[in-house]
């Protein structure tokens, strides 16, 4: 199967590891794959039930935090120590107890994980069950850390069994399928372990189907070349070089020079494959189901390769034609290389790490994706996204972009697959991805999945998040369930009223009032909500500014005197507001009070009364505008800067925060 075919046929299944690959039971998770043959592809879960798995993660009736498709038992329960599969508890050192306790509180503390692994390895000696438990738990959180998969496999090789080593590597290549490094490690293990060359070659081909066109794939190609050179398989070696020339590669010049040396040192009869020799042609021929050599061959080059040699041509002439055809492939790859070299050289960290990437590198990924999408080669688009999502796994914006790109391409399997991985593994604790998932599911008719995604945010990810409450209420309104939408606000307000110094409560009242008016046109009820809020909230600039803005969309007569009394109270010398806030609010009120309604109200749509069956607006870009006074639990590494909820110190001007969002097609629809 050719490289391009592999992506279309297998990529969805190969990436669908989130529900099975990190079974917290550990030793039994992959018993079906420990076959002794690392090239067997039947062990991969298929994607048939993928969408159902995605929705199951948002089970509204299940309050258990779901990690990677499984309840994460390792850090739960009354004890900080994990249990083995048989229920027995391992003996823990004091340092292990301390580190497990830290990780129960924050399972994304990367430094605590690495310290725990080091401590466990030091005290575990030959206790493979204990080693498995810590590696299973760590790799459930950070599956892209290919070096730890290697360490895990080494432990299994030392005190476990070869079947277990294969099992670990199989889990590894499902967890980080598009990593050149993990395939190099797996193939190196296979070379040392298996005597059957065909078994080893099949493993190389599996890896190359996914990463063979990666610009930095040369370590895997080098390993393959080294293997065939060791066996003096000259025709196979020549075929490998031919495949390399089909795509840009950082080491393309070196490969072409090596190929010319090979061609100059061996007779042509040794360089041709059996198929080429039988057909008496200069290059590899095509079979009905694809290229003999599993690579993508440019159409014009393939046509040249299939032309018979001129009768009576000499060995030297035949060799010259043989090399010339491959040189043509090389030159075309160099042409494409010149277009992408700027993007490739700007990628400073192609591997995963919890440390944040700098802005320039993040922008470079976006620009590179833009370029490849414009080129229109779907397989290359998928592979570049997968490369990007190794380095940028912690950034929801890239997962969102991938999902939307696959949806736009009509590849809903890949879109849903990426969404599952994002929400269950890589950015599962970031509210933004779950809010996007809710809107995406709603747009595609999965209302239960959308509601469950919102409930997950409300109950576990970020309880009280204003943006989630607003968007959930908007959805219920679009579904014609106004009472449910109002109930969401009222329940959230009741919860926030029970808190001391709630920063969310003032804006909840303001948004509820505005929402109520826009969807029902009931100005009296909207004002009652606001006046009732004054008994429970402290006057603040964001709250008063929201009141002023809201007044601009209400019908005449406007209650300017009432607003002025509140503003006067806020700007009085005895109030707690800062001088800058007082000055800003005074200016805002004066502008609103003296006839500038049109300018202030221009940001808001006219009141909308929903039809009996509200229409769902289309969407294309996930919003970056957020709402004020919000924060959610921080992870142990710096958060991506794009499209995340800001802390109070980072707020945009409240006027901007309250503006309608294009994602909905209107202020609430």
Q: Which two tokens stand for residue 219?
A: 């370590």
Residue pair 176/146 in contact by the 8 Å Cβ criterion:
yes
| Pairwise CA distance, residues 549 & 601, whole Å | 7
| Pairwise CA distance, residues 263 & 25, whole Å | 53
Residue pair 589/596 in contact by the 8 Å Cβ criterion:
no
Segment 7-58, tens digit of pLDDT? 333 433 333 333 333 333 333 232 333 345 555 543 332 232 333 333 333 3
Name the average pLDDT for the chain: 76
Under 8 Å CB-to-CB from 310, ≥6 apart: which residues? Answer: 317
Is residue 347 classed exposed, middle or buried when 0-12, 13-18 and 19+ CB atoms within 10 A define those classes? middle
Q: Fold for domain 95-276+315-330?
A: 1.25.40
Query: In angstroms, how far is CA 264 from the centroid of its own chain?
Result: 47
Segment 587-631, tens digit of pLDDT? 888 877 765 444 444 443 333 333 333 333 333 333 333 333 333
Q: Which one-letter DSSP state was computed for residue 290?
A: E
Q: Which two tokens stand for residue 366?
A: 């976006």
**b (16+ CB within 10 A) / e for 233-250:** bbbbbbbbbbbbbbbbbe
Supply the DSSP string of 66-97, one letter for each residue.
EETTEE-GGG-SS-SS---TTSPPPP--HHHH
Q: Which two tokens stand for residue 88?
A: 């027995």
Is the pTM for the entire model greater than 0.85?
no
322 or 45, greater pLDDT: 322
The widest CA-to-CA distance across the chain, in whole angstroms, is 105
| Pairwise CA distance, residues 67 & 60, whole Å | 15
Helix or strand (DSSP H, E) at 551: helix 541-551
Looking at residue 229, its pLDDT comes to 95
What is the Rg, in whole angstroms, of the alpha carbon atoms belonging to the chain? 30
Residue pair 667/420 in contact by the 8 Å Cβ criterion:
no
Domain ranges of the chain: 95-276+315-330
Residue pair 72/106 in contact by the 8 Å Cβ criterion:
no
Q: Which one-letter DSSP state was computed for residue 666?
A: B
Task: Identify whether 72 is preceded by a cis peptide bond (ω within 30 of 0).
Answer: no
Looking at residue 333, its pLDDT comes to 97
- The pLDDT of residue 404 is above 80: yes
């Amino acid at each position: 199967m050719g490289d391009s075919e592999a992506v279309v046929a297998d990529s969805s299944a190969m990436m669908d590891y989130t529900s099975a690959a990190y079974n917290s039971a550990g030793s039994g998770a992959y018993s079906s794959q420990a076959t002794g043959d690392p090239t067997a592809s039947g062990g991969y879960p298929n994607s048939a039930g993928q969408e159902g798995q995605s929705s199951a993660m948002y089970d509204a009736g299940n309050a258990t935090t779901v990690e990677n498709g499984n309840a994460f038992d390792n850090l739960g329960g009354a004890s900080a120590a994990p249990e083995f599969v048989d229920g027995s508890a391992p003996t823990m050192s004091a340092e292990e107890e301390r580190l497990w306790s830290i990780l129960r509180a924050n399972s994304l503390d990367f430094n605590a994980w690495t310290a725990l692994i080091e401590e466990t390895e030091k005290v575990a000696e030959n206790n493979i069950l204990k080693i498995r438990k810590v590696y299973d738990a760590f790799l459930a959180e950070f599956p892209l850390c290919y070096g730890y998969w290697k360490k895990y496999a080494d432990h299994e090789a030392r005190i476990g069994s070869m079947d277990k080593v294969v099992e670990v590597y199989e889990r590894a290549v499902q967890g980080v399928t598009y990593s050149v490094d993990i395939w190099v490690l797996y193939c190196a293990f296979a070379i040392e372990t298996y005597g059957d060359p065909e078994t080893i070659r099949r493993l190389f081909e599996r890896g190359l189907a996914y990463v063979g066109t990666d610009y930095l794939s040369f370590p895997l190609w080098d390993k393959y070349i080294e293997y065939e050179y060791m066996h003096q398989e000259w025709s196979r070696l020549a075929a490998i070089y031919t495949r390399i020339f089909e795509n840009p590669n950082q080491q393309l010049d070196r490969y072409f020079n090596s190929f010319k040396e090979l061609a100059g040192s061996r007779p042509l009869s040794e360089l041709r494959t059996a198929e080429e020799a039988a057909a008496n042609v200069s290059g590899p021929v095509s079979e009905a189901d694809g290229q003999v050599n599993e690579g993508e061959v440019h159409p014009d080059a393939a046509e040249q390769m299939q032309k018979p040699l001129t009768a009576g041509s000499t060995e030297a002439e035949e060799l010259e034609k043989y090399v010339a055809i491959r040189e043509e492939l090389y030159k075309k790859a160099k042409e494409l290389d010149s277009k992408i070299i700027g993007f490739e050289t700007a990628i400073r960290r192609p591997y995963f790490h919890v440390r944040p990437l700098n802005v320039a590198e993040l922008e470079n990924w976006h620009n590179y994706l833009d370029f490849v999408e414009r080129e229109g080669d779907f397989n290359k688009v998928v592979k570049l996204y997968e490369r990007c999502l190794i380095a940028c796994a912690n950034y929801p914006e890239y997962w969102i972009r991938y999902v939307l790109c696959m949806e736009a391409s009509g590849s809903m399997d890949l879109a849903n697959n990426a969404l599952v991985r994002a929400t269950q593994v890589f950015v599962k604790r970031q509210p933004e991805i779950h809010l996007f998932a809710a809107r995406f599911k709603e747009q595609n008719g999965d209302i239960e999945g959308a509601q469950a995604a919102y409930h997950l945010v409300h109950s576990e990810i970020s309880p009280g998040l204003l943006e989630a409450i607003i968007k959930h209420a908007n959805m219920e309104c679009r579904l014609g369930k106004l009472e449910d939408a109002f109930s969401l606000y009222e329940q959230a307000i009741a919860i926030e009223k029970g808190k001391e110094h709630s920063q969310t409560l003032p804006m909840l009242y303001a948004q509820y009032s505005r929402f109520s008016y826009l969807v029902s046109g009931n100005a009296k009820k909207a004002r009652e909500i606001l006046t009732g809020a004054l008994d429970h909230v402290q006057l603040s600039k964001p709250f008063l500014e929201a009141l002023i803005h809201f007044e601009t969309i209400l019908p005449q007569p406007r209650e300017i005197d009432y607003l002025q009394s509140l503003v006067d109270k806020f700007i009085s010398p005895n109030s707690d507001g800062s001088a800058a806030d007082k000055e800003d609010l005074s200016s805002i009120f004066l502008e609103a009070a003296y006839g500038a309604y049109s300018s202030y109200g221009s940001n808001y749509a006219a009141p909308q009364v929903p039809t009996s069956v509200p229409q769902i607006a289309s969407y294309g870009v996930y919003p970056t505008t957020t709402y004020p006074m919000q924060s959610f639990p921080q992870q142990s590494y710096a958060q991506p800067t794009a499209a995340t909820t800001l802390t109070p110190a980072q707020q945009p001007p409240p006027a901007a925060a309250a503006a309608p969002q294009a994602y909905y097609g209107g202020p609430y629809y």
